[in-house]
Structure 1
Amino acid sequence: MMLISRRSALQGLAAGALGLGALNLAGCGRKKDADLAGVTLRAATYRGNPDSFFEQAGVADTPYTLETAQFAGGNLIAEAINAHSLDVGGMSEIPPIFIAAANPLLRIVAVLQGDVNNQVVLVPKDSPLQVTADLKGKRVGYVRATTSQYMLLKILKEQGLTFADITPVALSPQDGLAAFNQGSLDAWVIYGVVVQLAREAGARVLTTGLNRLSGNYLVAASKDALANPLKKRAIGDYLQRYAKTLAWIEADYTRWARIRAQLTSIPEAAYLQEYRERSAGYRLLPVSDAAIASQQDVADTFAAAGVIPAPVDVRPLWDDSLHEVLAKL
């Protein structure tokens, strides 16, 4: 498994391949499907993502060859799918919006719906800020082209404010944590387990994504893969295994937090706190009008704020041809 940076990803796209590490795990208790035996499914993952635990969950016996590559962000996954270098991968609602106008190869086939309380606005422990209206005139860190930026726009709009009313500071999560800990930010809009790490150092949660974010994370596939009947079957099978892994996680979250901590070097306690405070568990769902409308709202918000150059219609990005498979989960 490899961690793909923007530079190495783009080099791979130019070469026509990402050099993904093969993970042929067939033969672990399930007879290979003869039709799928010659199929190679190229899937994206993130460090510590549920699909990293197929073996522990007992679902690693794929009847096809599963090649995985670890990515640092959903934007890179979207680019790799669009460049014929990946078959399937997950991301937030946002990366497809940035390529929607270019008739991309990417199609959204499923929704992973879950927690929004892990997306927050943090302030230093001794900060005078008490409500979101207090953000006016302050230095606010965020991650560009992510749910962090979208949430910040939503919060400002709630208070009749725009980016012009704050000093917005676009930073990667790693740079944001450093800036926040050094006192260079008055507030930081951020997501994921890094929230717990900042809180351990004394940060306070000003507000969360609850009632602001959908909790929708998208599963995207390439049009080429969906047009191939065998590869499409493999994608459906992969998503079924993902759903079973989610059930395995829910059955004993403490076990998963312990194993995940070993894989990621993030303290187990951080994962457990994130679990205790989550707004909802994770569910893998088929395409729906509500999910499409949610992404359209994000696109419209970005267009109104000038984050993207013009409005886009996201509906053509969606493909419900795996609905029957997902409806059974």
Structure 2
Amino acid sequence: MIATGMAALPLHAQTARHTLRIGFQKSSTLMILLKSRETLEKALAPLGASVQWYEFTSGLPLLESLNIGNLDLSADVADAVPPFALAAGANLTYYAIETPSPEAQAIVVRQDSPIREIAQLKGQRIAFAKGAGAHYLLLEALAGAGLSIRDIEPAYLSPADARAAFERGSVAAWVIWDPFLAAVQRQANARILRDGKGLSSYRRFYLAATPYAQRHGAVLAAVYDELRRAGEWVKQHPAAAAQWHAPLIGLDAPTVEAANRRRTYQVQTVDAASLDEQQRIADAFGSQKILPRRVVVADSPVWRRT
């Protein structure tokens, strides 16, 4: 059930002939699978909807484009992304989630590192992407060890720069998500110090432009059903899914398969627990002065499949 005060948008809104504009990233496994098979084009034709696809390099620009009316629907973005869009005043509807995959992001150290517990990160230089889910995971892990961000030396780096810094030893630890996590484990023998279990659920969120969600509930229902089927196929055919996706993201299939084992790909409608964690993420980044204003996640509408 959706938490009190969160609006549920109707499923059976009238659908007129139109184009559904979808934004995605290379990490958007399920949406890319539907795109490659032209699944949505076939499923939405009876509803009078055609599909256009737009690729983005990261989640926040995708949601910004969604907010200003250049897109109608976003493929999945990491759980830290929506609070930033909402803080910028975006009028977005929470559409769907993938269920928690807490092992899909982790704090890693080199195999020969003497660091064995989070408390030993005190005074160390740690690489992570500022404002990402990895940042939130680090905040929670430090708090659990009685530390704060002030007790470490942050190195705000992109995944590519952080990987280089990690391998040459200029950072003591790296906080990262899959498939980068699987890659550094397989290629550089990195050791997981702490993953997200009990700290950060790492859900993937799908969002829609609220005006579109209000008008085209039947289209959203059809897309939702196809996303669920795609997620089931990926989990039921791990080797085939990895072989298909690996060339698209520039990794070898075994690395992609290792990453996919940690991600549930189980698509569901948004529930109260996921939005509660969205609020915790927003509050954590607000306390760090990263968000420009306080976000009240409960003010955002929620679509439900009925």
Q: TM-score range by the shorter chain?
A: 0.7 to 0.9
Identity over aligned residues, as a percent?
25
Pick the aligned partner of 1:223 from 210, 230, 239.
210
Which digits, 9 at most, give the CA deviation of each residue in 1:205-259, with x for residues without a partner? 111111111232111111221232xx33222211211111111112211111111
* Counterpart for residue 296 of structure 1: 279
Cα distance in 2 between the residues matched to 1:102 and 1:187: 31
* 2:194 paired with 1:207: yes
SS in 2 for 1:140: strand
Matched to 2:229, the amino acid is K
Which digits, 9 at most, give the CA deviation of each residue in 1:126-183, with x for residues without a partner? 1111111111000000111110110111111111211111100111111111221222
* Paired residues, number: 285
* Counterpart for residue 42 of structure 1: 21
Cα distance in 1 between the residues matched to 2:77 and 2:260: 20
Are the equivalent residues in 1 in contact too, given 2:88–2:292 (CA < 8 A)?
no
Rate the CA distance shift 1:55–1:318 in 2: closer, same or farther, 3 A.
closer
1:150-165 equivalent positions in 2, closer than 5 A: 150-165=136-151
SS in 2 for 1:126: coil
Gaps (5+ residues) in structure 2? 1-13
TM-score calculated relative to the size of structure 2: 0.86
* Counterpart for residue 308 of structure 1: 291
Pick the aligned partner of 2:32 from 52, 70, 81.
52
Cα distance in 1 between the residues matched to 2:31 and 2:269: 18
* Counterpart for residue 225 of structure 2: 240
Pick the aligned partner of 2:264 from 273, 278, 281.
281
* Counterpart for residue 82 of structure 2: 96
* 2:57 paired with 1:78: no
SS in 2 for 1:44: strand
Matched to 1:308, the amino acid is L
* 2:234 paired with 1:265: no
Are the equivalent residues in 2 in contact too, given 1:43–1:88 (CA < 8 A)?
yes
* 2:72 paired with 1:87: yes
1:311-322 equivalent positions in 2, closer than 5 A: 311-320=294-303, 322=304
* Counterpart for residue 187 of structure 1: 173
Which digits, 9 at most, give the CA deviation of each residue in 1:92-144, with x for residues without a partner? 23222123245422121222224221201111121111111111000000111
Are the equivalent residues in 2 in contact too, given 1:106–1:223 (CA < 8 A)?
yes
Cα distance in 2 between the residues matched to 1:57 and 1:115: 26
Are the equivalent residues in 1 in contact too, given 2:84–2:291 (CA < 8 A)?
yes
* 2:51 paired with 1:66: yes
Which digits, 9 at most, give the CA deviation of each residue in 1:264-302, with x for residues without a partner? 2211110222244x2x62221112222221111111222
After the TM superposition, which of the residue ranges 103-112 and 172-181 deviates more from structure 2? 103-112
Are the equivalent residues in 2 in contact too, given 1:44–1:68 (CA < 8 A)?
yes
- How large is the Cα RMSD of the aligned pairs? 2.0
Are the equivalent residues in 2 in contact too, given 1:59–1:244 (CA < 8 A)?
no
SS in 1 for 2:95: strand
After the TM superposition, which of the residue ranges 163-172 and 298-307 deviates more from structure 2? 298-307
Instruction: Give the superposition deviation at 1:79.
Output: 0.8
SS in 2 for 1:257: helix
Instruction: Give the superposition deviation at 1:91.
Output: 1.4
Pick the aligned partner of 2:163 from 177, 182, 200.
177
Cα distance in 1 between the residues matched to 2:83 and 2:259: 28
Considering fraction of residues, name the structure with more helix. Answer: 2
